[in-house]
Amino acid sequence: VHEGMKRGVIIGFIKGMEYHANAELHWQTEGNRYHARQSISAFLLGSMEQTSSGHLTPHGLQPLRFTDRRFTKRRSVQFDWSAQQATFDPEREAAPIGVGAQDRLSVFLQLATMLQAMPELRTPGTRIDIPTLGAKRLQMWTFVVEHTEALELQGGPMPTLRLQRLPQAGDNEKALLWVNPAQGYVPVRI
């Protein structure tokens, strides 16, 4: 069994107001299986939790189940790889999936795996596309490698690689993330 835990900071905006949240990512692998849980809590906003479990394959993570609890709402996605589709709870129309599809939590672990295994992806300007299934639909998440940057964190300065997740067509949601090369490229700030 291999386990890991990472604490970090999330900075976001809700209706134009900035908020800071604490996040904790816990992951465990045993044989060819993985389980990941991310907890996020913010003063006055409450807490959220995401979990992802599935298989470790030669191509990376292959999720089987994803859950997303935001405050009092809970949604889940079941990945059926033999039928190449995902089903949702609460129920909605099934979505097609293909090789490499991730969920909204496993995508960050898959990205870390790719950056660690393929040094050429770390070059500024490189675009990394990962099909990502949320609690509603499949989207292509595109990450662009920007540059290295030293962050001042609670433990002191930390060298990181900064990436940006580009917004989807018709969507204004984008994200910046900083990954730590010394810790397998897992995010230390989002």
Give the pLDDT band of residue 24 (cuts 50, 70, 90).
confident
pLDDT reading at 11 higher than 70: no
Which of 2-6, 85-89, 166-170 has maximum average pLDDT? 85-89
Q: What is the pLDDT of residue 45?
A: 63
For residue 90, whether the previous peptide bond is cis, meaning omega lies within 30 degrees of 0, is yes
Q: What is the pLDDT of residue 174?
A: 76
Give the pLDDT band of residue 166 (cuts 50, 70, 90).
very high
CA atoms of 151 and 69, how far apart (whole Å)? 30
Q: What angle do CA 11, 72, 105 make, to 5 degrees?
A: 50
CB 38 within 8 A of CB 49: yes
pLDDT reading at 64 higher than 70: yes
The tens digit of pLDDT for each residue in 112-151 reads: 999 999 999 999 999 999 999 866 678 899 999 999 999 9
Residues with Cβ within 8 Å of 166's Cβ and at least 6 positions away in sequence, in order, are: 142, 143, 144, 174
Question: 37-41: which pairs have CB atoms within 8 A and are 24 or more residues apart?
Answer: 38/105, 40/10
The pLDDT of 40-67, averaged and rounded, is 87
User: What's the mean pLDDT when you consider all of the chain?
Assistant: 86
Q: What is the pLDDT of residue 173?
A: 74
Task: Give the E-state strand segments of 15-137 in sequence order.
Answer: 17-30, 33-42, 46-57, 60-70, 73-80, 85-89, 95-96, 102-103, 127-133
CB 36 within 8 A of CB 26: yes
- Give, as one character, the DSSP assignment of residue 35: E
Please give the structure tokens belonging to residue 18.
């900035």
CA atoms of 180 and 165, how far apart (whole Å)? 17
Q: What is the pLDDT of residue 40?
A: 79
CA atoms of 50 and 75, how far apart (whole Å)? 10
